[in-house]
Amino acid sequence: MALFESILVPIDFSPQSDRAADVAVELAKEMGAEIHLLHVYGVPVGVAGPGIYDTALPVTVMADLRDSAAKALEERVARLAAAGVKVSGLVREGIPAQSIIEVAEEVGAGLIVMGTRGLSGLKHVLLGSVAERTIRHTSCPVLTVPDEEES
């Protein structure tokens, strides 16, 4: 029996999340595990909400976000499948850390593999990292893969 039968890999299409996916491929090969790639997209801060300066997004904008994310994710799924692992892709709208935790439970993930940094830039300083919030609130182990510059 494999130590982990299911590995969740949150991906934001950054080089760091691609590196985490590559680490997950090696683990999946060794353990015979399935990989679930997950991309979570959300409404940009200050766009939707009840505030006086907030604006509503047309439905087509959100559909375009979802469709472009799905296309990019399909490319990642194909790349990992070509490496010889069983892989599926999921796209969700929501808050990244919360969605990661929910999907980990849904797919029965025994392990989450994710980068320590993604596309967030300055938002990390202001809001904290998705990896940090995921680690704090999930019930399964999380393997964080540092950026090449950090290692």
In sequence order, which residues have a C-beta less than 8 Å from that of residue 129 and are 6 or more positions away? 116, 117, 120
pLDDT for the residue 17: 93
d(CA 111, CA 5): 9
What is the 8-class DSSP label of residue 149? T
Mapping DSSP to helix (H, G, I), strand (E, B) and coil, where does residue 111 land?
strand
User: CATH says 13-145 is which class?
Assistant: alpha beta
The pTM of the full predicted model, rounded to 2 decimals, is 0.84
Residue 120 has pLDDT above 90, yes or no: no
Domain ranges of the chain: 13-145
d(CA 124, CA 86): 32
pLDDT 10s digits, 15-63: 999 999 999 999 999 999 999 999 999 765 544 455 555 556 677 877 8
Q: Where are the alpha helices (DSSP H) in 40-128?
A: 59-82, 96-107, 122-127
**Percentage above 90 pLDDT, the chain:** 63
Using 50, 70 and 90 to split pLDDT, how confident is the model at 127?
very low
Q: How are strands ordered across the β-sheet holding 34-41?
A: 87-93, 34-41, 6-10, 111-115, 142-145
